[in-house]
Every structure is written in structure tokens, then in C-alpha cells.
Amino acid sequence: MKNYAALLKKYDVPVPRYTSYPTVPQWQTQAFDTIAWQQKLKLAFDESNEAKGISLYIHLPFCESLCTYCACNTRITKNHSVEEKYIKALMQEWSLYESIFQTKPILRELHIGGGTPTFFNADNLDKLLTALLSRVNIHPEYEFSLEGHPNNTMSAHLDVLQKHGFKRISFGVQDLSEQVQKAIHRIQPFENLERVVLQSRERGFTSVSFDLIYGLPFQTIASVADTMKQVLTLRPDRISFYSYAHVPWLKPGQRGYEDADLPGDMRKRTLYETGRSRLIMAGYVEIGMDHFALPHDSLFKAQRAGKLHRNFMGYTTTNTDILIGLGASSISETTYGYAQNIKEVEAHQKSGEEGLLPVLKGHLHEGDDRLRKDIILSLSCHGFARIEDVKAVVDEESMDLLEEMQQEGLLRINHDAVRVTQAGFTFIRNICQVFDAYADLMKDKVVYSKAI
């Protein structure tokens, strides 16, 4: 393998995270038509395997304070009267999808994210789930999950989730260093995390996961090691260990600290290796990009069974043909393309009142989009792509790039597949980009965070 430091320098460039293909900035929005999208959605629903069911993502964007590292679409407010209006808008939006489907869908996967979903009080969360789940058929192998904040996820929230069949919950931890927490404006004592994990276990949640981030301001090797030490005492079933995406041109809140406060490129990678090594020693298995799971967890089992999937919700154990996103800025996905909702809360609510889908923009697949998407999914989930698929989309220049990566020890090309090596998973986003036909469109635009 080529010198590791040289490879890090070469490949630590802005690259998409490939939670979709094409990625949102690459969508051909000028060719998108909302009516055509609805027709394609109905076609996808009619063609979908009923045994698979559909997935549903609900975006609850409200937060009481701004975490400056965050790149999500949020609405900062302490006014909780917004909750009931927003629930009404969500159900108006769902009614529009019901009219498109014309039959009651089978719900396989439900994920509630934000924002801070536990901004909503337990009664309103119960009201939303009761209304929604009464209007679907629930798949016998359903999986329901929610993202919670350790500070404001209370027993009452967990009771509501338990009542509605939730077995998975994720907590945004990010980092446990007081200095780092102060810099990113997210103060959450370890005691709060410990409390809510214990309460979740008591209610029978079978998968508790933590989100951690490396590359944050003022992080050091010692602080990351200490965060991991504390986290591992709680033995979460899954851990996501993400690279901090520094995009202050998109998220002005990230200008709350200086670039000099962030770890340099090599130091940032060392932070990751520090955390990764401790997770591996503690019995966690690396899953795809950024994810780790204990061997009893369904994410690990899905990977071993070749059923791991990836979409806008991250890695998932289910692979449905349709993902519907409800709420401001949510993204829906079918085999035919994508559509993203209006980002502003008030505009989203106004669309519902007018009986219109709150779609802002989208992309309808054309040409070999679907094949390239399948290749990128297979690489990011399973570390290989079938050689016949690769040959169907690569040109001479792309093949040269793959062969160069093979010489660098990042992948192997043989008669049946392109396979990513263990070392190559560090550079998986770069490998995926070889198959990105839209990559050249973004060369002169500052859009993505760095790969490593």
C-alpha cells in the first residue's frame, strides 16, 4: 500500500457522503416536474413488493437552542405552541400521499429525526403517532426509531414510544468534553446520557445508539479517548462516529469558532483512529462508513446477511422501494427519483392548507442513474460492485482511476467484482465518486465537506 499519509493528503478533498445518488446538489432540478413526480410515485407504489412495505421519515425541525456544529435544517424557538400546528401540517401532507397511493400502505420502517424530536412534549408526540399509525398497516417485521436529545428525552417520551412499538432510539452525544461542548453550544452532562439510556433499557428498547463526531473544535486525542471511555461504560448497541462537516458557507452558525480551533487534516484522522481502535477493542464491528455495531445488533446481522441498505436516514436494516419524507425539508425517494420538501416551516404549513404537496425540488432518474446508484450503494454497504455493472458505466478515464486505486491498495479488480480492501474503506467516498457521472458539474463549486 502506498504511504498512508500521502494517500490521506491526496484523497482528503471535498466529496459527497453519498446518502443518495445523485446527491442533492447534483439533482437535475430544471428537468423535474411535480406532476411527473406524483405519477412516478404512484407507479413505484403499484410496482413495489407488498412484502417490503414502505419507509417513512418524519422531520421535526424544532430546537430550543442552536448547536453550532449542526448542518441540519432546524428552527430555533422556545415557543412550544408550534407543535400542534406542525402536527396538523404533517397529517395534511400524509393525506395527500394517501390520495396518491389510493390504498393503505404497509409501514415497514419509521424514523423520526430533527431538529430535536423530543422538543415535542410527550402528549403531542403521542397525538402524532396515534393519528399516523391508525392510517397504515404495520408490517410484521417493522422497525420504528427516534432521535432523542439526552437533556430533554424524559420518561414520558419513552413511555409513548414504547406504547407505539418503538424498539430503537438514538442519542446525539457528539462529544463529552466540557470545552468541546461549550464551543459547539451543546452542554449535556454524562449523567443525563446515563439516565436516559437506563430508562430506555428498562422499557425494552433493544437497540440504543449514540452519534459521535470527530474533528470538532478543541478535540484532542486525550479528549476523544476520554469520551470513548465514558461512552463504552453504557455499552450502546450501535455507534455512529462521523467526521465533522465544516461548511460555514452553508451553516453560518459554524462561524462561532475559528478554523484554527479545528484539528488539522492528519490530526483529525488520528482522532478517528483513536476512537475506532477503542471501539474495535470493545467488541464493536465496523459497518460501512462511520458506523459500528455489536454482534447482537440487527445492523451487524443485516451486513452479514448482505441486506444492509443506505438512504437519507443513514444505514438501515430494511430496503424498501419507497421512502416518504414528511415535514419541512424532508426528502422522499423511489426507484424513479427524489423530491425534497420546502425548507421553511410556515411555507410547508401553507402548502398543506392549500391541499398541495410541499415539494420544492427533485430529480427524476434518467440514463444510467439507477445503475450508478446501485453500484454506489453496493460499495458503501458491502464493499464491492459487480464487474458487469462496473463495465457498463465506466469509461477509459474512470477505469484508469480504479486501476490507480488498485495499485494504491484501496481495492481489487478481478473477474467478478471490484472489491474494497480494509484499508480502502477509509477512502470509500472517493471510490464511490469514480462512478459519479455528475461529479464534474460540482468541480468549481464549494459544496461538500472533506472526505477524510
Known binding residue 71? Answer is yes
Known binding residue 63? Answer is yes
Q: What is the mean pLDDT of residues 433-442?
A: 89
Give the residue ranges of DSSP H helices in 317-452: 345-353, 369-382, 387-393, 396-407, 428-433
Known binding residue 337? Answer is no
Known binding residue 159? Answer is no
What mean pLDDT is reported for the chain?
93
Known binding residue 245? Answer is yes
Nearest to 330 by CA among 318, 319, 338, 322: 338
**One domain, residues 405 and 358:** no
Write down how long the chain is: 452
Dump pLDDT digits (tens) for 207-243.
999 999 999 999 999 999 999 999 999 999 999 999 9
Q: Which residue has the cell 442533492?
A: 24
Strand positions, DSSP E, 126-177: 137-148, 168-174
Could you give the CA distance from residue 239 to residue 327 in angstroms, rounded to a whole number? 26
For residue 381, the domain's CATH number is: 1.10.10.920
Q: What is the pLDDT of residue 165?
A: 98
Known binding residue 381? Answer is no
Task: Give the range of the structural domain holding residue 417, as residue numbers without chain letter.
Answer: 369-437
Residues ≥6 apart with Cβ < 8 Å to 318: 52, 53, 55, 108, 109, 141, 143, 309
Q: How many whole angstroms from its chain centre is CA 200?
A: 22
Known binding residue 115? Answer is yes
Known binding residue 244? Answer is no
Could you give the CA distance from residue 318 to residue 320 in angstroms, rounded to a whole number? 6
Dump pLDDT digits (tens) for 33-45.
999 999 999 999 9
**One domain, residues 321 and 423:** no
What phi, psi does 249 have (nearest 5°)?
-70, -20
**One domain, residues 198 and 324:** yes
The partner residues of 243 in beta bridges, in order of sequence, read 214
Q: Could you tell me the pLDDT band of residue 452, with boundaries at 50, 70 and 90?
A: confident
Dump pLDDT digits (tens) for 25-80.
999 999 999 999 999 999 999 998 777 899 999 999 999 998 988 888 899 999 99
Known binding residue 186? Answer is yes
The partner residues of 170 in beta bridges, in order of sequence, read 147, 209
Q: Torsion over CA of 113, 119, 121 and 127, rounded to 10 degrees?
A: -30
> Pick from 337, 364, 391: which residue ends a domain?
364
Dump pLDDT digits (tens) for 266-281.
899 899 999 999 999 9
Known binding residue 122? Answer is no
Dump pLDDT digits (tens) for 318-334.
989 999 999 999 999 99
Residues ≥6 apart with Cβ < 8 Å to 157: 118, 122, 125, 148
**One domain, residues 55 and 151:** yes
Known binding residue 432? Answer is no
Residue 245 domain-assigned (yes or no): yes
What is the pTM for the complete model shown? 0.94
**One domain, residues 120 and 71:** yes
In this structure, what C-alpha cell is assigned to residue 174? Answer: 457528539
Residue 375 domain-assigned (yes or no): yes
Known binding residue 331? Answer is yes
Known binding residue 428? Answer is no
Q: Which residue has the higher pLDDT, 443 or 296?
A: 296
**One domain, residues 232 and 353:** yes
Known binding residue 116? Answer is yes
